[in-house]
Amino acid sequence: MKRTMGLDLGSVTCGIAISDPLGIVARAVETVRFEADQYDECLEKVLEVIHREMPDEIVLGLPKHMNGDIGVRGEISQNFKAMLEEEIQIPVTLWDERLTTVAAEKILIQADLSRKKRKKIIDQMAAVQILQSYLDYHKA
């Protein structure tokens, strides 16, 4: 049994999700906030959560353009993966995150959450979407 952590890295936030020990269901953990584009600061905060949650594997969202190209945001995720791998001995996998934020937003709207409440948890929900997609793919 292993637990997998999902990360949705943005320019000022990083949504974090974790799987159950059976690797079936993803749940939200928290949103880490940091100064704009200060990924060293983000890394420190994410490492605290990693040490607390003790995952066996990490899945980091890789933003791609709809045509599959990797742009600036994707390069930032690739660099963050390298930073993580320097600090921890846990495998880090990049996972296509196209449309996960859109899906998360739809779920929160269906739950009838106000815009203010959605803004607070959208990154966590996007991390849940990334992680759940990864878990579902590996179950099949």
**Does the pLDDT at position 109 exceed 70?**
no
The CA dihedral of 124, 99, 61, 33, to the nearest 10 degrees, is -40
3 state SS of 91: coil
Which of 30-39, 41-50, 115-124 bottoms out in mean pLDDT, i.e. has the lowest?
115-124
32 pLDDT band, cuts 50/70/90, is: very high
Angle of CA points 65, 27, 35, to nearest 5°: 60
CATH code of the domain in which 49 resides: 3.30.420.140
CA pair distance 48, 15, nearest whole angstrom: 14
**Structure tokens that stand for 46 in this block:** 């994410």
Q: What is the model's pTM?
A: 0.85
- What is the domain count for the chain? 1
CB 34 within 8 A of CB 42: yes
**Domain span including residue 35:** 4-139
